[in-house]
Amino acid sequence: MGYIEFHIEQGPVLEHLGQPLGVVEAIVGQNRLEFTFSGQANHAGTTPMNLRHDALAAAAEWILTVESLAQSTGGIVATVGFVEARPGATNVIAGEARATLDIRHASDRARTEALDELIRRAESIAARRGVTVKWRTLLAQHAVAMDPFLTEQIEHAIQKAGCEPHRMASGAGHDAMILAEKFPRDDFFCERRGASATILRNRCISTTSRGLSIADGIC
């Protein structure tokens, strides 16, 4: 018994490559954290630049560091999706800034090493700017490898259907990762084409007949 999931790709990789179908080798692991930079709130007009302890400026520098590290490290994606500055007034230097981090990679080791580096850089930036930083973990989820036998079977079926299979990691979580401890499992994707999730799912099911025949053949 095994589990196979046919899903619309939730990213642009297959569309960018011009490939209609992809074989998932692993579902990435992910960590989500919240970082809090604490400085000193003060008047924006009366506080000289060299006497500031601006929490938001420290957070902003670190956010660019997150982007830079992810761009220079193969397979890593890292996102700061939420930022909040307090007290949040236009004429007040931020005394506190909160920022979330979402970091993902198919290798737990690579992801952990990148995360440790981002924490070190947050500490370094905070110390240089005269602020403090602390963080808390919101989610820690390990990567899940797909079943090698099913991966090969899906790849062969895609080739028989006249497509060139593209092996890839899934950057989003799927049901297959939940069932991983119980059954052999794998996913394969059809490309998206720049529409909403609902439209994409309907298009995938209605137009990718090769994908459905692949699923039927394997099952």
**Among residues 38, 34, 36, 35, which one has the least CA distance to residue 94?**
38
Separation CA 181–CA 176 (nearest Å)? 9
Q: How confident is the model over 77-88, as pLDDT tens digits?
A: 999 999 999 999
Among 131, 124, 119, which residue's Cα sits nearest to residue 94?
131
pLDDT at 175 over 80: no
How does DSSP classify residue 107?
Answer: -
Local confidence band at 105 (pLDDT 50, 70, 90 cut-offs):
very high
**Pairing between β-strand 92-93 and β-strand 144-145 as defined by DSSP bridges:** unpaired
Amino acid identity, position 192: R
pLDDT band at 151 (very low <50, low <70, confident <90, very high): confident
Give the model's confidence band at 202: pLDDT under 50 very low, under 70 low, under 90 confident, else very high: very low
Residue 46 sits at φ, ψ, to 5 deg, of: -110, 0
Quick one: DSSP state of residue 106?
A: S
Higher pLDDT residue, 213 or 14?
A: 14
Task: Name the average pLDDT for the chain.
Answer: 83
Which pLDDT score, from 0 to 100, does residue 208 have?
46
pTM, two decimals, is: 0.79
Q: Which residue has the higher pLDDT, 16 or 141?
A: 141
User: Which stretch of 43-47, 71-75, 142-146, 169-173 has the lowest confidence by average pLDDT?
Assistant: 169-173
**Mean predicted confidence (pLDDT) in 74-99:** 97
DSSP 156-212: HHHHHTT---EEEEESS--HHHHSTTTS-EEEEEE---SS-HHHHHHHHHHH-HHHH
Residues 151-164 have a mean pLDDT of 82
